[in-house]
Chain A
Amino acid sequence: MDIKELFAKQEEMKQKNLNAKNEKESEITKVLTFFIGDQVYGIEIPCVIEIIGVPHITVVPGIPYYIKGIINVRSKVVPVIDMRSRFGKEEKEYNERTNTIIIEESGVTVGVIVDEVIGVLPVYQKNIANSPDRIGVNDNKFIKYLLEMQDGIKLVLDVAKLIYDGEMFLGDE
């Protein structure tokens, strides 16, 4: 086996991949989109476990106001976060359109309550509009990137930040 040939082949493959990326045509991931108020947000599909309605929430004392309590999802106790109050918006009574999206990130499962789930959207490199100077600070700290679509801008949430929130996280099991 010719070593040089092997290296050349490898290099070729690399270049191909790079080209594909440059074309901004390859699908990177998919996002689940939903409304919070009038704004469309998204969560990357790999984090999403399932989507349910709003089950009975058991109130737990001693936790922040935006964590509404715990719910039973298939015999698993899962905390739920109300996204409206997490984002400092006025809370709204839950109706039949309100959904709970169960998400998981590095072994931690939480449910997020959103106004309405829209659907699943493929993400291409060309749609991602990253504006680093405004993302990752203050209110925008939960935003991973923006998606510019024909029907408007969608904010894709950074699930890890949403869960860990820069606060000290003591979960160690």
Chain B
Amino acid sequence: MIYKSFYYIYSLRLRARRGRKGNDMAKVEPGMEAMIDTYIFETTTLLEQLDEILLRTEKANEFTEEDINEIFRIMHTVKGSSAMMGFENLQRLAHKGEDMFFIIREAPEKMTDVGFVYDLVFQMSDLFKAEIDMIQNDDDYEATDFSEMIAKLEKGAKMLKGELDSADASDAAAPEAAGAAPASAVPADIAPDCTTVRVFFEDGCKMENIRAFMLINNVKELVDDVEIVKYIPEDIESNQDSANVIIDNGFLLSFRAPDVKAVLSAIEGSLNVQSYEIIDNTAEAPAEAEKAPEAAPAAAAAPAAEAAPAQTAAPKPASKPADKPKSNEQKAPASGGGKQSLISVNLQKLDQLHDIVGEIITTESMVISNPELEGLRLESFTKSARELRKLTDELQDTVMSIRMVPLTGPFQKMNRIVRDMKVKLNKDVELVIEGDTTEVDKSIVDNLNDPLMHLVRNAVDHGIENTSEERIAQGKPGRGTVKLSAMSSSGEVVITISDDGQGIDTEKVISKAERNGLLTKPASEYTEREIQNMILLPGFSTNDVVTEYSGRGVGMDVVKSNLSKMGGSLTVESKKGEGTSFIIKIPLTLAIVDGMEIMVGDAEFTVPISVIKESFIVKHDQILNDTRRGEMIMIRGVCYPMLRLNEKFGLPSDVNDIEDGIVLLIESENRGICLFADKLIGEQQVVVKPFPKYLSQYDIKGQGLSGCTIMGDGSISLIIDVNTLIGSR
């Protein structure tokens, strides 16, 4: 009820606003306009991903658990962000789609066995895309009513559960095909030898060539001799352009089959087939069957007009020029108007730019400090060189700053989520944001949205107690607090989402895990921390009721997979009755680190300055030897282990006497260690690069190295990962 009334109020406000401002962007709530570009971009990408998975799995006729989880994640995210933007209709549509996959997740084989699921999901995805197109391009956008599709999805979901018999299944499967001519109308004896068919696909269904290929596969199963199946254009597998040929001329397919009827009905029933006609070389007696595309129902009248001239030069499907959905017509002028304020640049291009700038700087120092110039008096050269250096420095800073963005964007998004949930769940919650100016690489920000959204929702929905009374009874303030904070520490960004709610009920977690068969050892052997981290497993949820926000056990899954893509980690800390903290740690892939350069043998290493406490030269008598011949050193009453880097990394070095080298005291997470190196070179800002992909099969990180960096002179310096080094000793 609360939920409904909220939207009622919201739509009233929307109307009022529209009345006042006329044609202004009244699609979304005030304050959300800036985010609409991002929303459109994100959702479109996700829908494309969805189509890709569906097409691939349908073709392979195989559905893995991973695919289902991925689809689930997509639906969940689309639902969430639609809700955030206030597109109630889209959110409900996605919710229904998710419901259906919820059933499929329990029984994946249904997906391939029951063909209509694909049709339904594709229909849904198309509706989604059309709607997003409208949001993007229509100035006076009105939310479309999807109740028809939702009803279909509900019916489909019921059928999957087996509540309806299969007779109804075909009914819901292709409701649009209701007007299709029955297959028996096609004369079976028309071709004594081969039957040739011209197939047209739905307008704008994209990738006609792939769809044609799928069609061929379907047909091949039914014909007596696979070799006789011929088609034009022939290069559909390899040539993208063949899609255009298919759009223009249709897809010609010739086959010989014992049961032509069966093949024809297979063609008719194939995905995205709009119409087909049988072509006979001797007699022109095309039989028609048509399947009205849901986007343009008016096209139903088209085949009649199309039938006769079909054999003449390249007729387009008659439905093409007319009867286009409104959104498509508006697309061209809108995109031409240059309305978009954001452009999305491929990160690869930025990387490229960054690399080139690095090269320029290296080359520059090669030119300016060229040995051939030594001893010459070059006044104007020196002046120009200084000018050049100034400019290249500026260039470098600019390129860096393009990629580095503050976390303000994703953090501020959460305000909206908490606000909406507060109203709908009737909880008194406050969101506190700290450190949102922390700058991180763009790619991290892009991938952070989903994890943050899910974690914040979780904190509000699961974390905070249901009522203020419950909280007050426990001696807490009536208003719950969710804190979102960020900081960067030793080459990592640490983002914490904490609540002061009820904490994780470990008993509930373990019994749930046991029921779901997630335990790998007896329940009594799990530590509290292990149990807490179980909630991060896929398919896990302690909430028994599936709500709009959480409870399906998808959220944590999304969070983990998104973070691991960035090489990040997620841990949980919780105390029953006091609250829960989720801690995200992400390495800065392209972060700039203030580093201290040290030499060990021939190799150069970078130690992040933030962890260096001091550096000094020690005397022999300060060294203590422990029982395992390990060296230790006493500094101001604290005993630190000593790690010789040349031994650790197996590097031959001339400096073996501890008095000749230098010792660095480093400290991280309250643990300290002394590193012994040959000498210090100096302080330098370095750009962290990950190790090459090829080396990721070896455990370099476990050796205590977090990445590498290219120095001004073109040499490579390895960056020391202090935490691993401390742990290894």
List residues of A whose CB falls within 8 A of some B CB.
1-4, 6-7, 10, 56, 58-64, 67, 70-72, 74-79, 107-110, 163, 167-171, 173
Contact = CB atoms under 8 A, between A and B. Distances in A.
B276 to A, nearest CB: 15
B692 A75 contact: no
Contacts of A58: 603-604, 708, 715-718
A116 B359 CA distance: 28
A60 B700 contact: yes
Given A3-B279, A72-B714, A109-B692, A169 B697 contact: yes
B689 A77 contact: yes
A56 B604 CA distance: 12
Interface in B216-270: 230, 232, 234, 252, 254
26 contacts: A1-B313, A3-B281, A7-B254, A10-B232, A58-B604, A58-B716, A58-B718, A59-B602, A60-B695, A60-B705, A60-B718, A62-B700, A62-B703, A63-B695, A63-B698, A64-B698, A70-B708, A72-B716, A75-B356, A75-B358, A75-B362, A75-B710, A108-B693, A108-B694, A109-B694, A173-B693
Please classify how large the interface on chain B is, using the bins under 10, 10 to 19, 20 to 34, 35 or more: 35 or more
B196 A3 contact: yes
Interface in B353-401: 355-356, 358-359, 362
Contacts of A163: 694
A60 B719 CA distance: 11
B40 to A, nearest CB: 26
B699 A7 contact: no
B696 A59 contact: no
A56 B717 CA distance: 12
Contacts of A1: 311, 313
Given A3-B252, A7-B254, A75 B715 contact: no
Given A71-B716, A77-B691, A171 B700 contact: no
Contacts, number: 100
A7 B693 contact: no
Interface string B637-656: 00000000000111100000
Contact of B230 (A7, A59, A76): A7
B230 A171 contact: no
B705 A61 contact: yes
A111 to B, nearest CB: 10
A168 B708 CA distance: 23
Given A3-B254, A7-B254, A79 B692 contact: yes
Nearest to B313: A1
Contact of B703 (A6, A61, A71): A61
Interface of B: 196, 230, 232, 234, 252, 254, 279, 281, 311, 313, 355-356, 358-359, 362, 602-604, 648-651, 689, 691-700, 702-703, 705, 708, 710, 714-718
A68 to B, nearest CB: 12
A162 to B, nearest CB: 11
Contacts of A75: 355-356, 358-359, 362, 710
A168 B472 CA distance: 55
A77 B716 CA distance: 8
Contact of B603 (A59, A78, A171): A59
B652 to A, nearest CB: 10
Q: Which of B252, B698, B705 has the most CB of A within 10 A?
A: B698
B71 to A, nearest CB: 20
Given A60-B718, A61-B700, A74-B355, 17 more contacts: A6-B232, A58-B603, A58-B715, A58-B718, A60-B700, A60-B705, A62-B703, A63-B695, A70-B692, A70-B708, A77-B692, A77-B708, A77-B716, A107-B693, A108-B694, A169-B697, A171-B696
A77 B714 CA distance: 10
Most buried by A among B196, B281, B694: B694
B703 A4 contact: no
Contacts of B196: 3
A61 B649 contact: yes
A110 B694 contact: yes
B710 A62 contact: no
Contacts of B708: 58, 70, 77
A70 B716 contact: yes
Nearest to A58: B716
A12 to B, nearest CB: 12
B697 A78 contact: no
* Listed residue (B311, B313, B692) with the most chain A CB atoms within 10 angstroms of its CB: B692
A62 B693 contact: no
Contacts of A71: 716
Nearest to B359: A75
A10 B234 contact: yes
Contacts of A4: 281
Given A4-B281, A67-B695, A79-B695, A74 B700 contact: no
A79 B603 contact: no
A163 B692 CA distance: 13
B125 to A, nearest CB: 26
Nearest to A11: B230
Contacts of A167: 697
A71 B647 CA distance: 23
Contacts of B715: 56, 58, 72
Contacts of B359: 74-75
Contacts of B691: 60, 70, 77
A1 B718 CA distance: 67
Closest 9 CB pairs of A and B: A171-B693, A62-B703, A58-B716, A75-B355, A75-B358, A61-B649, A61-B703, A63-B698, A171-B696
